[in-house]
Amino acid sequence: MTIRTSITVNGKETSREVEARTLLVHYLREDLGLTGTHVGCDTSNCGACTVLLDGEAVKSCTVLAAQVHDCNITTIEGAAQADGSFSPMQEGFRQEHGLQCGYCTPGMIMASTALLAENPNPTEEEIRHALEGNLCRCTGYEMIVNAVRWAAEHPNFTSGGAK
């Protein structure tokens, strides 16, 4: 069974005829070619596929594309600022070495972005708790915590359009 779904992704209207069972992550990666969102598990534990659904962090492996008809999705490709500067969170991950292999990173950045939207000045403990659903195998997490703190401390970061 196919179904027509229209989703605003990173501010752009998209519309496709999809199988009803198509996962949002596969819609993003395979139908739209937005491969920055990764798949790391099949039980919703790892969070590599985290995107923002109307501003809230969701695991796009656990959402059907058809479910988010008429919704707004932001992926890592849409995380940067309008002028092209990295977002404070992207820059925080770079400044604090919050990534190594980079595979979990898009999900981490989106989950952390959602955290700061809700709590602009989280403590270390609040950050660790908020990121419980995102697994990283490389960093041991401390530098991810530092990255989120960096973003919290630099909410107005801009590189003046430099990417």
Footprint of another protein (CB under 8 A): 19, 21-22, 26, 29-30, 33-43, 45-46, 48, 75-77, 79-80, 86, 90, 93-95, 97, 99-106, 109, 124, 127-129, 131-145, 163
Pairing of strands 72-74, 56-59: unpaired
DSSP codes joined into one string, 98-135: --SS-SSHHHHHHHHHHHHHH-SS--HHHHHHHTTT--
Looking at the Cβ atoms of 65 and 70, the one nearer to another protein is 65
Minimal distance in Å, beta carbon 3 to another protein? 14
Nearest-approach distance from CB 83 to another protein, in angstroms = 14
Q: How far apart are the first and last CA of the chain?
A: 42
Cα-trace Rg, the chain: 16
Query: Which one, 7 or 32, has the nearer CB to another protein?
Result: 32
Nearer to another protein, 68 or 99 (CB): 99
